[in-house]
Amino acid sequence: MITFVGAGPGAEDLITVRGQKLLKEADIVVYAGSLVNPGLLSVCREDCEIYNSAKMTLEEVIEVMEAGERSGKRIVRLHTGDPCLYGAIREQMDELKKLDIAYEVCPGVSSFCGAAAALNAEYTLPGVSQSVVITRMAGRTPVPGRESISSFAEHQATMVVFLSACMLKELSAELILGGYHEDTPAAIVYKATWPEEKVLRCTVKSLAATAAEAGVTKTALIVVGRALEGEYERSKLYDPSYTTEFRKASAHSADSKTKETCKSEKQKKRGTQQ
Ligand code: SAH
């Protein structure tokens, strides 16, 4: 069995409990060395074979997996963040399928979530944006024309741009072309959740200058949108005048009755035990 494991965005304690258990038990680990924090491997057994896929081709990765599988070993393929985003897992899965080797996925915390945490941001603010566009500028990997940054910018939704830290002038131009005002709040989050994390707040117009000043050219996410700053509407979910599946609407927001309903689940349990 091969398990594709999401390593999380960087911090050693942001891998899932399940992912770490799989690492502890693994006989072989193939990790994406360009981005995965090598500190995560400290839980591996002494005799675990460790390969850095940054120096390998797809064929070489599959060779290691196939040989390991044939000798009954437990294999972890460790990808940064969550493997479903820019992880090149599908091509590995298709090769494994051809070889009749079973595989599964253990998800991870994607860096776009790590970046939100670093920014203390809610990407989906009522009255501002209820969608997150995850995309990238075209690089060596082309992006289909219908998915241009400018076409997404038209929606004015929150955008998180991967793999584009070295193309910020072009990114700004595309965002403005699509309809973002040049003063729209933006942020560059370098190595979110790593000890060397940098959070640079700026505007759509000043992305390139801000990154240049801080010397950021890679391992960064660009977040764009009014969700980063400014007005928004409060949620309906916690609005006292709204009834939800779990709570009846009340006219007063902070009376003793509300306090009573706000008793924690723990307090309630304690109450029933007494
Ligand atoms: N699967 C990964 C993304 C891999 S693509 C995930 O879910 O996060 C690699 C790109 O992800 C980098 O170029 C950078 O844009 C972004 N990235 C990965 N880790 C990051 C981090 N800790 N902080 C900021 N950006 C990161």
| 91-139 confidence digits (pLDDT tens) | 999 999 999 999 999 999 999 999 999 999 999 999 999 999 999 999 8
Pocket-testing residue among 112, 219, 222, 223, ligand 1, by greatest number of atoms within 8 A of Cβ: 219
pLDDT band at 245 (very low <50, low <70, confident <90, very high): confident
Cα separation, 250 vs 239, in Å, equals 9
* pLDDT confidence of residue 266: 61
Work out which ligand 1 atom sits closest to the CA atom of 164: 15
Closest CA to 189 of 156, 166, 208, 211: 211
Residue labelled with tokens 């709040």 = 185
pLDDT band at 259 (very low <50, low <70, confident <90, very high): very low
Q: Which residue has the higher pLDDT, 242 or 193?
A: 193
Closest CA to 86 of 145, 41, 139, 122: 139
Instruction: Give the residue, by CA position, lying nearest to ligand 1 atom 2.
Output: 81
Cα separation, 194 vs 44, in Å, equals 20
- The residues near 270 (Cβ < 8 Å, ≥ 6 apart) are none
Instruction: Please tell me if the CB atom of residue 80 comes closer than 6 angstroms to any atom of ligand 1.
Output: yes
Pocket-testing residue among 16, 112, 188, 221, ligand 1, by greatest number of atoms within 8 A of Cβ: 221
Q: Which residue has the higher pLDDT, 270 or 260?
A: 270
Instruction: Give the residue, by CA position, lying nearest to ligand 1 atom 24.
Output: 220
Cα separation, 271 vs 89, in Å, equals 50
Neighbouring CB atoms inside 10 A of 1's CB total: 13
Pocket-testing residue among 15, 80, 119, ligand 1, by greatest number of atoms within 8 A of Cβ: 80
What is the pTM (predicted TM-score) of this model? Answer: 0.91
Does residue 263 register a pLDDT over 70?
no
* pLDDT confidence of residue 50: 98
Instruction: Please tell me if the CB atom of residue 86 comes closer than 6 angstroms to any atom of ligand 1.
Output: yes
Does residue 261 register a pLDDT over 90?
no
**Cβ 58 vs Cβ 91: under 8 Å:** yes
